[in-house]
Amino acid sequence: MTQKRWAIQEILNVTTEFLRDKGIESPRLCAEVLLSHQLKKSRVELYLEFDQPLSTLEIAGYRFLIRRRLKREPLQYITGHQEFWSLDFLVSPAVFIPRPETEILVEEALKLKQRDLLSDSFQPKILDLGTGSGAIAIALAKEIQDATIWASDISFEALALARDNTKHHNLNNRIKFCQGDLWQPFSNSSITFDMIISNPPYIPAEAFKMLPPEVSYYEPRIALDGHENGTHFIKRIIEESGIYLKPGGWLLIEMDPDQTERALYLIDSTQSFRYKERLMDYRKKYRMVKAQKING
């Protein structure tokens, strides 16, 4: 008996229905992304080669990928890639998967530079605190050619991947990496920055049980857990950033919409800042707080 030869179109249709039945989000997209990963073809190529039959080995490989996704492993960890700021990033379970809403931090940083609002607009010094895969630091290095960028993280594994991403984007020597707990890598130096940007862990410990398994089981807890109320790191960043910012320097922090009021209050309490503002993400939720250090 001859074995059935599945063609690309047919296997995509069957897999989409199967994933839909199993409650997997965006089943068609998932079926296509995993098949293009298995066949090492772009999604457009899949459509151009709809009638092409798959080999037995290709089908076995595809089934293995689908089984991983059924266990709720994020697509990005299966393929090893995520797009951020229209750039391709390597990702692994050692790092947080960069999210689209974080692009507003990059957008806002670029606006400050373009409007000449940085204290040193020639060769500005920028710190990405808690860099993870390096997404923010690398996007900024690409966009602001004369900037010197520092990227820090407590996780050795995350920094190793961020370094791989700088090589992936030919940005060797543009980013200085440091490991340590928040401000510790800078505490013995006199360095001050024109801009400090951070997307810190901000999920309240109490909210973990409500997260989808893709996040709670697969993404590194250290990248997510903002402890009680989720504001542990936000508070530490606001309270100490005044020491590490130049006069007139900017602090940009991503957070949960519910945390922005508290962040504004903390900014006032430090008396280090002369200006503060909340900004919305693409879904019209307050997602980021921006503050400018006093001049004196």
Ligand X SMILES: C[S@@+](CC[C@H](N)C(=O)[O-])C[C@H]1O[C@@H](n2cnc3c(N)ncnc32)[C@H](O)[C@@H]1O
- Which residues form the interface with ligand X (CB under 6 A)? 96, 98, 102, 130-133, 135-136, 153-155, 158, 181-182, 199-201, 222-223
Q: Choose between 33 and 129: whose C-beta lies nearer to ligand X.
A: 129
Minimum distance of ligand X from residue 212's CB (angstroms): 16
Q: Is 170 a catalytic residue?
A: no
How far is 86 from 189, CA to CA, in rounded Å? 35
Q: Is 96 a catalytic residue?
A: yes
Burial label for 147, CB within 10 Å (0-12, 13-18, 19+), is: buried
The neighbouring-strand residues paired with 193 are: 245
Q: Choose between 155 and 259: whose C-beta lies nearer to ligand X.
A: 155
How far is 190 from 244, CA to CA, in rounded Å? 8
Minimum distance of ligand X from residue 270's CB (angstroms): 19
The neighbouring-strand residues paired with 254 are: 288
- Other CB atoms within 10 A of residue 187 CB: 12
Note whether 163 and 139 are within 8 A (CB).
no
Q: Choose between 158 and 288: whose C-beta lies nearer to ligand X.
A: 158
Residues 6+ apart with CB under 8 A from 111: none
Residues 6+ apart with CB under 8 A from 2: none
Q: Choose between 192 and 199: whose C-beta lies nearer to ligand X.
A: 199
Choose the catalytic residue: 27, 177, 199, 204: 199
Minimum distance of ligand X from residue 176's CB (angstroms): 15
How far is 104 from 139, CA to CA, in rounded Å? 12
Tokens of 127: 């710190």
Note whether 194 and 118 are within 8 A (CB).
yes
How far is 28 from 20, CA to CA, in rounded Å? 8
Choose the catalytic residue: 124, 200, 201, 204: 200
Choose the catalytic residue: 96, 177, 186, 193: 96
Minimum distance of ligand X from residue 39's CB (angstroms): 29
Minimum distance of ligand X from residue 286's CB (angstroms): 17
Q: Choose between 19 and 290: whose C-beta lies nearer to ligand X.
A: 290
Q: Is 173 a catalytic residue?
A: no
Catalytic residues: 96, 199-200
